[in-house]
Amino acid sequence: MATRIFHMSDPHFGAENREALNIFADAVRHEGADALLCTGDLTQRATYPQFEAAARFFEQFDVPVVICAGNHDMPYYNMWERLVDPYRRYRMVQRGVADAFASDDVVLVPLVSTVPLQPRFPWVDGLVRRQALQSTLAQLRSLAQDPRLKLVFCHHPLLPAQDGQKNPTIGGDDAFAQLAKAGAQAVISGHVHIPFDQQRERGGRSLRMLGAGTLSTRLRGVPPSFQILTCEADAGIVAERRIIAP
Ligand SMILES: [Fe+2]
């Protein structure tokens, strides 16, 4: 039996798209979901009411919910809190959900691409710290003899939309190559609000990049979307994109 992971991203509670969220929730409930994955930007401005709304949304599901933080999930107005405890508010949601998921077919492995401070402004795009990458690589290496699919998830795509473009994610190229070398089959992310499914290459290693769009009203030229990843250990990943028609 395959494992079905329902992947959504960037709901931006506070600027969420209720209709799109309801369509996604119905799909999770009625279409054989084994897990829900949300790759960050749960909120628009990391306020308490926005995190409460996100927590209420994720609480409704009977399947494991796995999330990671996005750049919008750290305090935006309170710089002191952003520096000393950037994920304090995010933990309101984190407490109610799983921090990992594994089945007979697949293991989800987190990678942190969001940092509270970085050497450029604005602090929107990703940065993969050495320590964050080493943590993910250690998990992948511990699964080296494991026949299951290894899917890494993070908020920011590790590569630009096309080769030849400047990579907005600092450290992304190196992370991509090392994750591929360590045996990951795919890296799943959000952030750009546009869905994608690409087989890419860095350092002679190939890796699939899968992105959900957004379930918010912050559209960038394409409608809201999510994707269903059907994973089978010996058959790979079938990605089905669901575009929510306006
Ligand atoms: Fe983002």
**Distance (Å) from CA 193 to ligand 1 centroid:** 8
* Ligand 1 center from residue 191 Cα (angstroms): 4
CA of 199 to the centre of ligand 1 (A): 22
Cα of 43 from ligand 1 centre, angstroms: 10
Read off the DSSP letter of residue 214: -
Q: How confident is the model over 125-147, as pLDDT tens digits?
A: 999 999 999 999 999 999 999 99
E strand spans, 92-235: 101-102, 106-110, 149-153, 186-189, 196-202, 205-211, 225-232
pLDDT tens-digit map of 81-111: 999 999 999 999 988 898 789 999 999 999 9
For the segment 25-77, what is each residue's pLDDT rounded down to a tens digit?
A: 999 999 999 999 999 999 999 999 999 999 999 999 999 999 999 999 999 88
Alpha carbon of 12 to ligand 1 centroid (Å): 9
Contact 215, 19 (CB under 8 A): no
Q: Are the C-beta atoms of residues 13 and 41 closer than 8 Å to each other?
A: no
Domains (range + CATH), the chain: 3-243 (3.60.21.10)
Centroid of ligand 1 to alpha carbon of 9 (angstroms): 9
Sign of the alpha-carbon dihedral angle for 165, 119, 94, 81:
negative
From ligand 1's centre to the CA of 137, what distance in Å? 23
Distance 70 CA to ligand 1 centre (A): 5
Cα-to-centroid distance, 13 and ligand 1 (Å): 13
Stretch 147-165: mean pLDDT: 97
Evaluate if residue 245 carries a pLDDT over 90: no
Output the pTM of the full model.
0.97
